[in-house]
Amino acid sequence: MLTPRDTPARRPSRSGRGLQITVSDDGEGFDPASSGGFGLAGMRERAAAIGANLTIASAPGDGTRVTVTWRPA
């Protein structure tokens, strides 16, 4: 069963002409630079395909924050 502490925070926001979505947690975190799988690369490719920017902030022991920012051309 998930508790509020286990549930990631989702913060969508609109500013002018665009959209920003942030998903964060207070889990174990990881080093994004040493991630060897296709998950992060796939997320970056999908963001780029729609003209968005993907930012991943994480560190071991410090949780993770993923932000997608999109502004129309």
Angle at 14 (CA atoms; ends 67, 22), nearest 5 degrees: 20
Q: 6 falls in which pLDDT band (50, 70, 90)?
A: low
* pTM for the structure as a whole: 0.75
Place of tokens 């174990």: 28
% of the chain with per-residue pLDDT over 70 = 79
pLDDT at position 12 = 61
Domain 9-70 has CATH 3.40.50.300: no
Tens-place pLDDT, residues 38-56 = 899 999 999 999 999 999 9
3-state secondary structure the chain: CCCCCCCCEEEEEECCCCEEEEEEECCCCCCHHHCCCCHHHHHHHHHHHCCEEEEEEECCCCCEEEEEEECCC
Domain borders along the chain are 9-70
Is the pLDDT score of 2 beyond 80?
no
